[in-house]
Amino acid sequence: MASIADIIERVAQALKLSQEEAQLPVSAIIQDEITRELAKVGELPKGVRSQCAWNMLLFLYDADATGAECISKQLTSVSGAPTTTALRYLQLLVAEGLIERRTLSTDQRCSAYSITPTAIEMVETWAARRANALSALLSEWRASEA
């Protein structure tokens, strides 16, 4: 499976436009955004399908790539949801096996979270499909302009 960095590079290359080329029609951008939002949340198991859970998974994916440690306060702040809702989704993500929770050795009152290999694969699969969809959208647009 391609890494996220490889996928991002492919998308960046596919999206390079000259200054003279026009912008995508607004309707295509809107439709693409709606499709994208539904697709990414749809990757999650039914019990945790929310933007809140997705935001936390992406944050954990990025943290895993950089070796950073994530505590619950960080995750609740990036979730886009009230703290109590974010904490509930953290519990659900742990129960679904998408993230792991452990107590910090330096502070027994705090928990650190990490993404599981299952969730990493899920995010990378979504990112690859997203890159392909963007490339297809760009190809369609260029073909319609010709």
Q: Which domains does the chain have, with CATH numbers?
A: 26-145 (1.10.10.10)
Highest mean pLDDT among 5-14, 44-53, 68-77, 91-100: 91-100
Q: What CA–CA distance (Å, rounded) separates 138 from 17?
A: 10
Characterize the bridge pairing of strands 70-71 and 99-103: unpaired
Question: What is the per-residue pLDDT across 74-99, written as a single tens digit (0 to 9) for each?
Answer: 999 999 999 999 999 999 999 999 99
Burial call 122-135: b when 16+ CB within 10 Å, e when fewer: bbbebbbebbeebe
Residue 18 has pLDDT above 50, yes or no: no
pTM for the model: 0.69
Task: Please work out, in degrees rounded to the nearest 5, the angle formed at the alpha carbon of residue 132 by the alpha carbons of 128 and 134.
Answer: 115
Secondary structure class of 140 (helix, strand, coil)? helix
More confident residue, 3 or 51: 51
